[in-house]
Amino acid sequence: MLAWLAKRRSMRELPAAAARLGLRHCEAEYTDKSGTMSGVYRDHSVLVRPDKPAIIVEYRFRIEGLDLSTWSDPRLRRPADFHSDHQDFDRLFRKRKLPSAVAKALSAEPAFFAQAVAFKSRWGRTIAQLDFSQVSFSAWIRERGLQFTYITAAELDGMLPAMVDIAEILETACGRVTVGTDG
C-alpha cells in the first residue's frame, strides 16, 4: 500500500520537476501512469519514462562501437574487450566493448570512470542498470516493492544533471578521436 501511495505522490510532483528542468511533460493516457518527459537539457536531448522506468540522455554525436553496461547475460561468458585502470569501474561495468581508439581516449580521461562509479554508488539503491550505448547514456530504475517502479522528482532533480555531466565528459574524451574508426 505504501509503494502505491509513494507512486501517486511522485506522479503529482513530476510535472513541476519537468518544468524546473526545462522538459515538456506529456500526460499519460491512463490515470495510473506518469506519462513521459522530454526536451533538451544543457544541450542534450533527454527522455524520461517514469513508468518504464528510465532516464535517457542522448549524446551530441554517435560514438561508434561504445557498449558499456552494468548488466550482462550470465549465460554469455565473454571476456570484456576493455579493461580500465579503475578497478571499481571494471567491477561495476560487466559488459565493456569499445573500439581501441575510443578505449585509448577514455583511458586518458580518468574523470569519466570516477564519475560513473560515483553516480552508481550515489544512486545505487535506485538504479538497477546503467548503459552507455553508441547514442545515449541510460539509467534504469529498480522495482520498489510490489512491482511498483517509478522515478521521484527529487531523484530526477539529482540524477539528470549528474548524467549530463558524465555524458559531457564522455563526449569530450571521444571528441578527440575520429568517431567511427578503430585504431
The one-letter code for the residue type at 141 is: I
For β-strands 44-49 and 54-58, DSSP reports them as antiparallel
C-alpha cell recorded at residue 134:
553508441
DSSP element (H, E) containing 127: strand 127-132
In the block, cell 577514455 appears at: 106
| Residues in CB range of 171: below 8 A, 6 or more apart | 59, 60, 61, 63
What would the pLDDT profile of 94-126 be if each residue is shown by its tens digit? 888 888 889 899 999 999 999 999 999 999 888
pLDDT in single tens digits along all 183 residues of the chain: 466 566 667 777 888 999 999 999 887 776 666 778 999 999 999 999 887 889 999 999 999 999 999 986 666 656 677 888 889 998 898 888 888 889 899 999 999 999 999 999 999 888 889 999 999 999 998 876 656 677 888 889 999 999 999 999 999 999 866 544 444
